A and B are shown apart, each in its own frame.
Chain A
C-alpha cells in the first residue's frame, strides 16, 4: 500500500498575490479524495495562515504536505527572522507585522493561535535569525463526529 501523497510547494517572499496558492491546491486535492469537509476546512485555514506567515515574515520557504488515510501533515519551513518568544507569539492579537502590512489586512496577529486551533498537533521549531519550521497535523478519523 502507498505511503501517502506528498505535495511540495515553494512560497515566494512578499508575493501577496500568490499567497494562498499552496493551501488552495491542497484543499482542492482533499476534496477530490473525498475527505470530510470539516477536516478540509481545518487544513485550509491552518495552512493558509502558515503560508501567509511565510510570505510576511519568513522570506518565503517551502511547504511539504503528506496525505495518508490517517492524517494530513503539513511542514512549513522558512529561513526567515525566526520567532523570539513563541509563547508570546501564540497569544491572540500579538503581531510583529509592520503597519504597512497590517493596513493591507494581514498581520492582525491571529496567525499562530488560529493555526493551533485548526490543527490537532502543532510544533514550532524556531531560531532567531535562522528561520522557523512549523509542523501541523490534522487527524482524519475524527470527521464523522463533526458533521
Chain B
C-alpha cells in the first residue's frame, strides 16, 4: 500500500488540462500530463486549494456516503462548528443538532466541545512550555502536514494535542459505549466536516496510531438533507449542545487564540500567508510570540472547500450564533489526569523529507547542479505549458527522471528552428 494517502482526487473527464491547479498548489504536487492533472500523493497536504481554484470542478475530495450509517448499530454525529454557519437565522444550535438526530443519527457530539477542552489544555501547555515558544496550533491538519514535509525545525513547536474532531470522537465513543453497552465496532462515529485534510486524517492520523472516526460526511453533501429536517426539529428541540462561545469561535481564524488571553499571539489564514510565516519563523524572527495559529483556508475552517456558505458571511452568522451563549460549557478537570493525558499525541511526529532530490546528499547535489544547468535552457516564464508550475520545477522533474526538456515549448521552438531553418514563423 502507498504510504501516502490523499483525499483529493481528479475527475479525468472534467479536467481540461489547464494550469490553474498546478500554479496554485502550495507544495507543487500537481503536474499536467497527457492533458490531465496528476497529483503526486507524497507531496499533497490535502489543503484543498486545487478544489477551490479548478474552473471545471474536476478536483474533488473523497468522503463517505450517507449509506455508511447502515453499517453500525449506533451512530454519533460529530458536527464541526462551521456547520452552524451554513444556515440562515439559526437562533439555536440545538435545532441543528436535533435535525441531525432526525436525519438518522442516534446521538450528536459537538466538535466545538472538544475545542473547549483543548482550549483549556492549550492555555496551560503554553504557560508551562516557554522553551517551546512560539507554540504552533495543530488544529489545521493541512498545516501540520506542511510543517512535517517542509519545516523540520518547527516540528518541536507544534502543540502535541489531538485534532478537535479526533478528541471529540474519543469522548463520543466512550459516552456511546457507556450509554448503550455496545462493543466499539458496532458504534459509528461520523464527523461532519468542511475539510479534505480531515478526511485524510482518518487514514493517516496525526500524532496517533489509529483514528476513532469511522467516516466523514462533507458539510455540502448533507446540507440539503439536514435543511429538510430543520422545521420538524423546531417542533421539539432537544437540549444537546455542550459548547459555548469558545468552541464555536474555533471555526474562524484567531478563534483558537482568543481563549489564551494573551496579546502575544499571531493568527494567519490563507495558504500564501501561512507559508510566508513558516519560512520566517524558521529563521526565528518572532521570538516574542507565545502562540501561532495558522489556517490553510482564508477566514479559518468556515473557508473550507466542503462548505456551502461564503466564508465571510459564515463568520458573521457565527458571531450571531455565539450571542447569549456562555464562554464555556465543557470544562476540563485537570485532576482527571487519565483523561487529560489521553488528549495528547501518542506518537512523535517525524520529519518527512519528501522533497529531497535524492536519497543521499552527494547524489542530491549532482542533481541540483544538473537542474541548474537545465534551467539555463528554459525561458524563465513559469508559464506552465510544460505541465509543471515553474521552469525550476520542470528542471527538477527532469533530474528526478520524470520529464524531459522537450516538454518546454521554448526548447521545442528552438528545435523547430534548427530543423526547419525557419526563423520567422514561430517568433
Contact = CB atoms under 8 A, between A and B. Distances in A.
A50 B360 CA distance: 29
Given A34-B361, A35-B361, A69-B361, A29 B368 contact: yes
A115 B351 CA distance: 26
A68 B353 CA distance: 20
Interface stretch (B32-40, B280-288, B335-343): B280-288
Interface in A13-43: 20, 23-24, 27, 29, 31-35, 37-38, 40-41
SS class of chain A's interface: helix, strand, loop or mixed? helix
A107 to B, nearest CB: 14
B357 to A, nearest CB: 5
A34 B152 CA distance: 11
A45 B150 contact: no
Contact of A27 (B282, B362, B369): B282
B355 A24 contact: no
B225 interface: no
B53 interface: no
Contacts of B284: 45
A44 B284 CA distance: 9
Interface string B345-389: 000000101011111111011101100100000000000000000
Interface in A72-124: none
Most chain-B CB neighbours within 10 Å: which of A2, A4, A24, A34? A34
B131 to A, nearest CB: 15
A67 B283 contact: no
Interface residues on A, range: 20 to 34
Contacts of B360: 34
Contacts of A31: 150, 152, 353, 355-356
B280 A5 contact: no
B279 interface: yes
B153 interface: yes
Nearest to A140: B361
A32 B357 contact: yes
Nearest to A68: B365
Nearest to A1: B362
B369 A40 contact: no
B356 A33 contact: yes
A37 B151 CA distance: 8
B282 A33 contact: no
A5 B370 CA distance: 10
Contacts of A38: 153
A68 B366 CA distance: 11
Contacts of A29: 368
Contacts of A35: 361
Given A34-B360, A34-B361, A41 B153 contact: yes
Given A37-B153, A45-B283, A68-B365, 14 more contacts: A5-B369, A27-B283, A31-B353, A31-B355, A33-B356, A33-B357, A33-B364, A34-B353, A34-B357, A34-B358, A34-B359, A34-B364, A40-B153, A69-B365
Interface of B: 150, 152-153, 279-280, 282-285, 351, 353, 355-362, 364-366, 368-369, 372, 396
Interface of A: 1-2, 4-5, 20, 23-24, 27, 29, 31-35, 37-38, 40-41, 44-45, 48, 67-69, 140
7 contacts: A4-B365, A5-B368, A27-B282, A32-B355, A37-B351, A40-B152, A45-B284
